Amino acid sequence: MKNLFTKAIVIVLIFNFIASATIWDSMEMASAKLYFKQKNYPKALEFLKAEVSKNPTSEDGWFYMVLVYHELGEIKNLKDAFDHAVVLNPKKAKDLNQMRIVEWAKLFNKGVEDLNNAVDSIGLAKAIESFELTCYVMPESTLNFRNLALTYYRMGDYENAIPNLIIGSDNGKDNMSVKLIGDIYLEKATNFKEQFNNINQENFEKIKNLDMIREKIKSADVKYYLGQPTSINKPKGKKKIEEWSYSKYNLNLTIEDGIVTVVNNQYKPQIDSSNLYLALEYYAKAISILQKGIETFPNDAKISETLMNSFIGAERNDEARSLLETRIQKYPDSKFDHYNLGVFLLKENKFEQAIASFETSLKLDTAMSAARYNLAASYVNWGVKEQERIKKEEQIREEEELKSDKKNKNAKKEKREIDKSYLEKYKLALPYLETIVKDKPDEVPMWELLGQVYANLNDMKKADEAYKKADLIREGKK
């Protein structure tokens, strides 16, 4: 780690205090001053303790106690005595505070030196000890808490780093503290979300597989997604009909001539959301500190990126989308920003804009497979939407013509070409799909999708090959 920590400037002070007893001093105070003059500081401290115990408002007692602790190097005790002395004797507050600053500077510099020289936890522990004392001696300085937090962070002790970083951030005014807090909270949120997904993985897989089961799909596809049925019943007198049951899914199917005709799904998954709630809590914490940071440092790319990832993780999509559009203007070479914006646009069926975003991502990184996959998905979905639109318009037109024919039986029908402009979208999807199945040859859904695109383009040979490849993978033959 680079030596990023600089030392404080040590103020050299010369104290010209004349320790002489006065006629109104108590016996304890007079003895303390005598021993102080003789530089017998332990003995002076003994009488000073007796003095302030007997007289808690003794101005000289607390003042000299600060001097003695300064000489003995007992910094924490010096601070405690200082707090009493400045209240009882405000006129000497300036001199006392200078002494406090001297001791603080020594501690601060020692902490910086220990930290820069640390090669293991022992060295870091020494730095922590010094910085903890600086926080105690001068709690008004956020720099102390910042350095203490950074030392804990370097040690990997995030639990102790966070509260000190929060103080050190000065309500979002220190960008390094904001970044570290944001990173820690985002990492915690991400870990809890991963735990949520891992704990519920089996149920999620079941839900995903069940979503693929619908009427008119092949029975072979059912086995691919769900495995062999728990039981198969063949009703008497109905040779081509089978009733399949999957007990763990609480699912019953009717299969007729190898095709699903009836789906009876009663599955109700039990999802444990406890880790998800913790994830959302830490996403919210990250967002809170990062929003303060971005107000102070609007051009800090790291704070902005972490905030965007926190929005996305928390599924606060409107805020993520707004920030993404701002980031793309500021950081046009960020492949992830273009990709993430493309995902939002694809979900909104804004295909042309989504394609532009994914194409930019691929230009910035030609190996970005996720962008390639979503480019294919954009073109296919666009083609499907166009096909559905054209079909609906054709139905409306036919209904209108039918009404017109009834009114005018002698009207001559005009031959009209069917609009197949949607096929262009399928053609544009092809090179991306072909690359995907080449890179990931065992993906059944991709082979199926490729087969459907070939079929729509009337390339039945390639469509048949793609479907056969999907079937071979299902059967484990590849």
Reduced 3-state DSSP string for 346-385: HHCCCHHHHHHHHHHHHHHCCCCHHHHHHHHHHHHHHHHH
Amino acid occupying residue 248: K
pLDDT tens digits, one per residue of 185-211? 999 999 999 999 999 998 888 888 888
DSSP code of 314? T
Beta strands per DSSP E along 142-240? 231-233
pLDDT score of 415: 62
* CA–CA gap between residue 168 and residue 148 (Å, rounded): 9
pLDDT score of 14: 37
* CA–CA gap between residue 221 and residue 223 (Å, rounded): 5
pLDDT score of 297: 94
CA of residue 78 relative to chain centroid, distance: 44
The Cβ of residue 86 has, within 10 Å, a number of other Cβ atoms equal to: 19
Burial of 241 (0-12, 13-18, 19+ CB in 10 A): middle
Q: Give the full edge-to-edge strand order of the sheet including 251-256.
A: 231-233, 241-246, 251-256, 259-265
pLDDT score of 192: 97
Asked if 313 and 276 touch (Cβ cutoff 8 Å), the reply is no
Nearest Cα residue to 388 out of 417, 419, 416: 419
CA distances 358 to 266, 370, 377, Å, are 39, 9, 11
User: What is the per-residue burial (b if ≥16 Cβ within 10 Å, else e) of 15-31?
Assistant: eeeebeeeeebbebbbb
The dihedral sign for the CA sequence 410, 415, 421, 427: positive
pLDDT score of 270: 86
Nearest Cα residue to 359 out of 297, 346, 18, 233: 346
* CA–CA gap between residue 77 and residue 318 (Å, rounded): 54
CA angle 184, 189, 191 (to 5 degrees): 95
How large is the angle between the packed helices 59-72 and 75-88, nearest 10 degrees? 160
pLDDT score of 407: 59
The Cβ of residue 273 has, within 10 Å, a number of other Cβ atoms equal to: 12
Nearest Cα residue to 310 out of 189, 145, 221: 189
pLDDT tens digits, one per residue of 354-410? 999 999 999 999 999 999 999 999 999 999 999 889 888 888 887 777 776 665 655
pLDDT tens-digit profile, the chain (478 residues): 444 455 554 444 434 444 444 547 789 899 989 989 899 999 999 999 999 999 999 988 998 898 888 888 888 888 888 889 889 988 888 888 888 888 888 889 999 999 999 889 899 999 999 899 899 888 888 999 999 999 999 999 999 999 999 998 888 889 999 999 999 999 999 999 999 999 999 888 888 888 888 888 888 888 888 888 999 998 877 668 889 999 888 899 999 988 988 888 888 888 999 999 999 999 999 999 999 999 999 999 999 999 999 999 999 999 999 999 999 999 999 999 999 999 999 999 999 999 999 999 999 999 999 999 999 999 999 999 998 898 888 888 877 777 766 656 555 556 667 788 889 999 999 999 999 999 889 888 889 889 889 988 999 999 899 988 988 887 777 6
pLDDT score of 472: 86
Q: Helices (DSSP H) in 228-316: which residue ranges?
A: 274-296, 301-313
